[in-house]
A = this chain, B = another copy of it.
Amino acid sequence: MSELLVGVDLGGTRIKAAVADGAGRILVHATVPTESYRGPEGVIDIIAGLVQRLATPLGGSLHGLGMGVPGLIDIATGTTKFMPNFPTQWRDVPVARMLTDKLQCPVRLLNDVRTAALGELKFGHGQQQPDLTMAFFAIGTGVGGAVVVDGKLRLGPLGAAGELGHQTLLPDGPRCGCGNHGCLETLASGPAITAEGVRLLHTGLAPRLYELVAGDAGRVNPREMQAAAIAGDELVREALDRAATYLGIAAANVVTVLHPDLIVLAGGVAELGDILLDRVRLVIRQRVGMFPAHEVRVEQSLLGEQVGMLGAIALAGEF
């Protein structure tokens, strides 16, 4: 085993790491808690230890390490800039340099959703059409995004291009964690959808949902809401449709800008499947129907939960 590629997916609660061969086939992988309370130094120690533990038995040398990070980073130096789900001491941490010092291999950091899009490009939908133009939405606790133009991930001068969750859709809408009002993220993220489910629960408008979660608002989530909608809660279905409609408007807006070949939905909320996809497709037809008939494909990620890790491996392969 000569050249190993290392992928790391740094999350607020979990660190996932995998070691792959030069073709991107995962050989070993593991998940450990992030232990954020130990600060950047401590977390970087955990990552380095985990990688060594996985890679050493394989006996090869590390060709490179790619890491997806939930925030904005200085891509030229691999330094964290804005990490919304981490303590403030994570601002301006030279993570790439620190990991290179420990692991003696080149390290590249990228926003986690841009990383995932790289995975989709290399191992998912992009395999059929390497030069595709794609908008990638990752819908979970937040709404992240990425844009690929002619097979190339767009980063912009600061790695912040593709932040599709921070499009303004309602100029006077709810406050977003980014400081703006009415971002897509405030309208279609997991917590935004859940909040509306909780409202319906508390107002007695969602009897099926009430049964499913035994009246416990803490158990409401998009998946339970989907089950409630299927079981007959019309207002819960409307809530899901409304979130999907906002997602469709955001997708339609990206169509006006780039007219991509493909729009990919990933992340936990995308697991809702057709209830989401069909609405997004419909809204695109409604909103950019003046465009001559040309179906922009809207699909779920082909890689499911693996997409972020595979993207990190793809990133490692770019050295």
Residues of A at the B interface (CB closer than 8 Å) are 72, 74, 81-82, 133, 135, 145, 147, 149, 154, 156-158, 160-164, 166-171, 178-180, 245-246, 249, 252-254, 256-261, 286-292, 294
Identify A256's interface contact among B163, B246, B290, B291, CB under 8 A: B163
6 contacts between A and B (CB under 8 A): A149-B154, A160-B294, A161-B258, A162-B256, A179-B289, A179-B290
Identify A149's interface contact among B149, B158, B286, B290, CB under 8 A: B149
Q: Answer whether A180 and B288 are a contact pair too, CB < 8 Å, given A156-B258, A256-B164.
A: yes
Q: Answer whether A291 and B259 are a contact pair too, CB < 8 Å, given A171-B169, A253-B253, A286-B180.
A: no
Cα A258 to Cα B167 in complex, Å, equals 11
**Closest chain B CB from A148 CB (angstroms):** 11
Cα A261 to Cα B161 in complex, Å, equals 11
Cα A226 to Cα B166 in complex, Å, equals 32
Cα A24 to Cα B254 in complex, Å, equals 33
- Contact: B180 with A82, CB < 8 Å? no
**Closest chain B CB from A69 CB (angstroms):** 14
Q: Which residues of B contact A156 (CB under 8 A)?
A: 133, 258-260
- Contact: B258 with A154, CB < 8 Å? yes
Cα A63 to Cα B237 in complex, Å, equals 60
**Closest chain B CB from A139 CB (angstroms):** 15
Q: Which residues of B contact A261 (CB under 8 A)?
A: 157
Q: Answer whether A290 and B178 are a contact pair too, CB < 8 Å, given A154-B258, A156-B259.
A: yes
Identify A290's interface contact among B82, B171, B254, B290, CB under 8 A: B82
- Contact: A72 with B291, CB < 8 Å? yes
- Contact: B286 with A147, CB < 8 Å? no
Q: Answer whether A253 and B167 are a contact pair too, CB < 8 Å, given A157-B259, A180-B286, A287-B180.
A: yes
Q: Which residues of B contact A82 (CB under 8 A)?
A: 290, 292
Closest to A74 in B: B292
List 10 additional A-B contacts (Cβ < 8 Å) besides A168-B253, A178-B289: A72-B291, A149-B154, A156-B258, A161-B258, A168-B287, A179-B290, A180-B287, A180-B290, A254-B257, A257-B257
**Closest chain B CB from A201 CB (angstroms):** 26
Q: Answer whether A292 and B160 are a contact pair too, CB < 8 Å, given A149-B149, A168-B253, A168-B287.
A: yes
**Closest chain B CB from A169 CB (angstroms):** 7
User: Which residue among A72, A164, A246, A259 has the maximum number of chain B CB atoms within 10 Å of its CB?
Assistant: A259
**Closest chain B CB from A282 CB (angstroms):** 13
Cα A80 to Cα B147 in complex, Å, equals 29
Q: Answer whether A258 and B147 are a contact pair too, CB < 8 Å, given A160-B291, A166-B290, A167-B253.
A: yes
Cα A294 to Cα B157 in complex, Å, equals 8
Q: Which residues of B contact A290 (CB under 8 A)?
A: 72, 82, 166, 178-180
